[in-house]
Structure 1
Amino acid sequence: MLFHKKYTVRLSFLVLLFFNCTLSAQKQARLDGVQVAFLSDVHLQDLFGTFSDNEYRGILNPKTGKYTLLRTMASQLHSTRIFNENYFAFIAALDDIAKRKIKYVALPGDYTDDGQPIHVRGLEEILNKYRKKYGIEFFITTGNHDPVGPFAQESGKEDFLGNGGKNQPIYSKDKMYTPNLDLEQPVVVTADIAKMGYLGITEGLKDFGFYPNKKYKFWSTPFAAYTSGNYTYAKAAEASLLSNRTYEVAPGYEVPDVSYVVEPIDGLWLMAIDGNVYIPKKNATADPKDPKNYSEASTGYNNVLSNKKHLIKWVGDISLEAKKQGKTLIAFSHFPMIDFNDDASAEIKELLGSNKWQLNRVPTEEVAQVFADAGLKIHFGGHMHINDTGVRTTAKGNTLVNIQTPSLAAYIPAYKLLTIQKDNRVDIQTITIDNVPRYNELFDLYKTEYKFLESKQTKDIWNIDILKTKNYHEFTDFHLKELVRLRFLADDWPAAFKDFILKVSGEDLLVLANIKSDKDFDVILKNKENFKTEWEAAEQKTAALLAENNLKKEDFKNWTGYDFLVDFYRFRSADELALTDIGTERVKQYKILSQLFSENYKEETVSKEKPLQNQMRLFLIIFNKFMHEVPADHFSVDLKTGEVK
């Protein structure tokens, strides 16, 4: 009996020891060196896809002998994203990931053009190829382009490139579009160009995180009743049914939410947040399944706070569970959680107006506070096609780091690579995709388009020199320049400022930064002979500052106001990556200008009668913030403290 008692005590001790060791092992899961790549806003258009219900295959490319479904160069040079060459960039990025032996890839939304069947099939085929060949596991979340709305809807595009350089309209239903046969080919009709809703997209991409897999250690949704402690695949399979993943976005309007958390390897939890919020329109009918009832979802997390609040509790619950179990939780979604304008949104609003520069997409400060206090430490977003890092610490001392992932379809094309390190640190690298095989494969087809536009004496034809670019990096840079010329100049800027910046030289700006006059800049430049005394005094003052900084006046003669504006957009898009194209010497000159304007044109001293002075002051404040914010190229994050260095 005594022996039995001792044995029982010893056995209990061993069981307790085993339990504690097991728990300790859970808390200390070795993830050192585990890597996750984030590829956002791929916007894949399957150039070589085939329609299931129409024999049309696109136009024949004489260079390759292949039929190709591509959009016109004119359309993509008026868009914030490239439509065609990004197909090859996506392949190049995946090849780079495979070469680095990265096994986990997250796609934070907008992975197709608009969630059309032909492009979703193309994406599925590509991802399956890399999954089977290299063992890469892909995890997808939604974007505002996929799905465009909660339910399927008829759609189409009129800007595919057709025979003879004409536009080729392709629509999902007959009589949706009437072509101008002088400029366009007859309409091609195929259901494969319709926009799918949640059902079609999640079914088409079911193997990439949207549904559980038996090899996952854990998988759950905001609506699941189980925890990781009592998890089974059978429970997950039941919870994953789309009918079990819905919520009321507004009274009487029930839509899906396909957020999920997954544990692909012991210790790592990837949280894929579906940030799409489809709010019913004011004139919505009573039918909750009518796709026309819903507004698009591009606003992001501002609408989550008002119409998708259950996500906040879910994020809090998962964050707490991850902390208790010693899991490393990495969140990703399509939309940013922190101001992506380097905290310059207030100045942008003052300079350009509240309806410019997609300011409606800037998350309020409450978004970061809510999710930081819910327990999120790090979040990867997309949507804006920019490279940026934002940090917020709440009154409760919780810090959230938001990492904006660049798009492969815009300047500068890149993806983010997270590497888990010791002591709760993660290393973040920005991997640029500069050289892309086959990026120029379609150039001969664009030449046909250009000739046709010339024959029609089209106004503001795109610059054919883009077809002389030597690599994909140059191509995206040229795309940005053309976007500035063809769209942003007219759409974004006050007319007087646009006229001023297009005519002024760097040398003029240097002098104007120091000039003392009761007249505005445009008056001074038009009547320089009347301001000789003021101009010479400003030049003398400027000379001393230039000497102090080892600069010469001649350095400022090498660029114009237009160059300055292009570099403004470069920094906004690529952050510090833009230094590759701008150069450190030019940046040094811009910083001198910023310093001078900051000293000589303070807000309280600038008169309302001199709008250009105030606009230039704001322009340089914004530019300076773009150049001086949190690291966005290669840095590390402490997941405990939120420190970025």
Structure 2
Amino acid sequence: MINQTRRHFLKTSAFLGASASVGFSLTGCNGNSETESPGLRFAVLSDLHVYDTSLGKDGSAFESYVASDRKMLEQSAEILSAMVEKLLAVDGLQAVIIPGDLTKDGELVCHQKVTSLLQPLRDAGVAVFVVPGNHDINNPDAVSFSGETTTQVESVTASKFAEIYQDFGYDAAIARHDNSLSYVAEPVEGIWLLGLDSCKYSDEDNAESPETSGQLTSDLLNWISDQLSSAQAQNKTVFGMLHHGIVPHFGSQPDFFSEYLVDDYENVGKQLATSGLNLVFTGHFHAQDIVSADYNEDGSLMMYDVETGSVVTSPCPFRLIDLDTASGTMSITSTDIDSIDSMEDFATYKESFIYTGMMNLYKVMLPETLEKMGVTLGEEELATLETLAAALHVAHYKGDEAADQTTLAALTQMINSGDATTAYMGSKLYQLAVDDGLADNSVSLSPWSENTAMIHNLLHRIQQTA
């Protein structure tokens, strides 16, 4: 069983005399005090979903696609450009990492657009590292739009992906996995980035539609273990990035959104942590959320999963990370894009867009879920449930969600209704509504504290007696 210790720790940290921080260990943390310890200032962007509007933006086919989604595709390039501009103003920025879904649906022209939009970072001396997402390779949904019709356009293979992004991680790799697009890079001396390819994009997987779920194969896990052993032998600090989550970001995610986690996530996460990888940056679900898994329930074997929201989904965030191995800290701050040149009030537009998109999602998803359960609800009851679920999901996207007392009371009433279906849905929505863990947007982590295990053991005892 995983014990997820999230914002509860922050509330307890005052009792411990600590700042808003939580400890975890990383491979290679025992440095030589006589040598200078490395540091790294880097940014995290995720799920760019860049769309080149030369593929069409008018007509019912494109309008229908956008209406069924929650991504601001038409504004994607402009939002990313605004984000790059902000990053170029960050003093001392050394690297940017992007854990997948670079394009709308893997269109070659969209990949080429991505590299052109990111190039100013490289021109300024900022290293950029990418891995693929489930939309990026061998995607049958790579199409252009014209009026009522769509036309297949060229997507990319795995080898073409590595070629396109040779200047964005692959040429800088100090090790490559033979059977995936995974690699190891060293952004600064002493710190290794493990870029992991968790996607399924074989012809069989993507025969009709892109496969949403992800995996770390046994072959890849063995390769990762070898890289971590090498890192430990060389006293390197290691963190990872991949598209899919390693740790559930809310209690009902494995029930309703399991495809956003790697297959067999608990055993995979435990294996990675045992091998020495305890920190990963992920995307895919488009939410700002930080969560931990305590596999031994005593703080001795941890995994931290820092998920970053989508560039093209409100609130359009990016993270700035200051990693300092000398002091053993890593601070995380988050910034949203609230304005773009082409729109007078982008902040209001993006809020309206995400809520409308989420309502459309739940109007399809909830009836399908209930039908599988053999349950039929009246129109009014179903509409109420859809509205509540959409609002909670939007709040989760922003991070640091805190449902009001009226919402919590309504969910509690559902849980205690006496009706099995109502109670089940109430409990699952409650798990989405309540985020009792680490702060999601701005937080300071202490990766190399010698007291990590002691603190987690104390927290565990407090929780057991609470």
Pairwise TM-score range, normalised by the shorter structure: 0.7 to 0.9
1:263 aligns with 2:171: no
Asked whether the 8 Å contact 2:59–2:148 carries over to 1, the reply is no
> Which of 361, 364, 372 is the aligned partner of 2:273?
372
> Which of 290, 305, 312 is the aligned partner of 1:402?
305
> Which of 401, 419, 430 is the aligned partner of 2:322?
419
Q: Distance in 1 between matches of 2:426 and 2:31?
A: 57
Instruction: Call closer, same or farther: CA 1:311–1:121 in 2, change over 3 Å.
Output: same
Which residue of structure 1 aligns with residue 3 of structure 2?
A: none
SS of equivalent residue, structure 2 residue 304: strand
Q: Distance in 2 between matches of 1:43 and 1:92?
A: 15
Structure number with greater CO (CA < 8 Å, separation at least 6) is 2
- What runs of 5+ residues in structure 2 fail to find an aligned partner? 1-29, 371-375, 460-466
- What runs of 5+ residues in structure 1 fail to find an aligned partner? 1-22, 50-56, 60-67, 172-192, 213-217, 223-244, 247-256, 283-290, 350-356, 441-469, 504-560, 580-585
Which residue of structure 1 aligns with residue 351 of structure 2?
A: 477
Superposition deviation, residue 148 in structure 1? 3.2
SS of equivalent residue, structure 1 residue 315: helix
SS of equivalent residue, structure 2 residue 276: coil
Which residue of structure 1 aligns with residue 17 of structure 2?
A: none
Q: Distance in 2 between matches of 1:339 and 1:89?
A: 28
Q: Distance in 1 between matches of 2:190 and 2:148?
A: 52
Which residue of structure 1 aligns with residue 42 of structure 2?
A: 36
1:502 aligns with 2:326: no
Q: Distance in 2 between matches of 1:221 and 1:116?
A: 24
- Partner letter of residue 380 of structure 2? D
Deviations 1:161-208 (A, max 9, x none): x5xxx345333xxxxxxxxxxxxxxxxxxxxx3111012221122111
Decide which structure has the larger Cα Rg and report it.
Answer: 1
1:93 aligns with 2:83: yes
Asked whether the 8 Å contact 1:141–1:210 carries over to 2, the reply is no
Which residue of structure 2 aligns with residue 169 of structure 1?
A: 150
Calculate the TM-score normalised by the size of structure 2: 0.78
Which residue of structure 2 aligns with residue 583 of structure 1?
A: none
Q: Distance in 2 between matches of 1:26 and 1:197?
A: 46
Q: Distance in 1 between matches of 2:243 and 2:36?
A: 28
Asked whether the 8 Å contact 1:37–1:105 carries over to 2, the reply is yes
Asked whether the 8 Å contact 1:279–1:295 carries over to 2, the reply is no
Which residue of structure 2 aligns with residue 189 of structure 1?
A: none
The alignment covers a number of residue pairs equal to 411
Which residue of structure 2 aligns with residue 589 of structure 1?
A: 406
Which residue of structure 1 aligns with residue 399 of structure 2?
A: 575
1:196 aligns with 2:178: no
Q: Distance in 1 between matches of 2:333 and 2:404?
A: 23
Deviations 1:214-249 (A, max 9, x none): xxxx71123xxxxxxxxxxxxxxxxxxxxxx23xxx
SS of equivalent residue, structure 1 residue 320: helix
Q: Distance in 2 between matches of 1:617 and 1:414?
A: 29
Which residue of structure 2 aligns with residue 433 of structure 1?
A: 337
Asked whether the 8 Å contact 2:190–2:237 carries over to 1, the reply is yes
Asked whether the 8 Å contact 2:396–2:433 carries over to 1, the reply is no
When you count helix as a share of all residues, which structure comes out higher?
1
1:123 aligns with 2:120: no
SS of equivalent residue, structure 1 residue 72: helix
- Partner letter of residue 618 of structure 1? S
Percent identity over the alignment is 17
Which residue of structure 2 aligns with residue 229 of structure 1?
A: none
> Which of 382, 385, 388 is the aligned partner of 2:286?
385
What is the aligned-residue RMSD (CA, Å)?
3.3
Calculate the TM-score normalised by the size of structure 1: 0.57
Instruction: Call closer, same or farther: CA 1:498–1:398 in 2, change over 3 Å.
Output: farther
SS of equivalent residue, structure 2 residue 97: strand
Asked whether the 8 Å contact 2:198–2:243 carries over to 1, the reply is yes
Which residue of structure 2 aligns with residue 6 of structure 1?
A: none
Superposition deviation, residue 597 in structure 1? 5.8
Superposition deviation, residue 632 in structure 1? 0.9
Asked whether the 8 Å contact 1:281–1:295 carries over to 2, the reply is no
1:633 aligns with 2:450: no
Asked whether the 8 Å contact 2:362–2:390 carries over to 1, the reply is no
Q: Distance in 2 between matches of 1:118 and 1:71?
A: 19
- Partner letter of residue 315 of structure 1? I
Which residue of structure 2 aligns with residue 250 of structure 1?
A: none
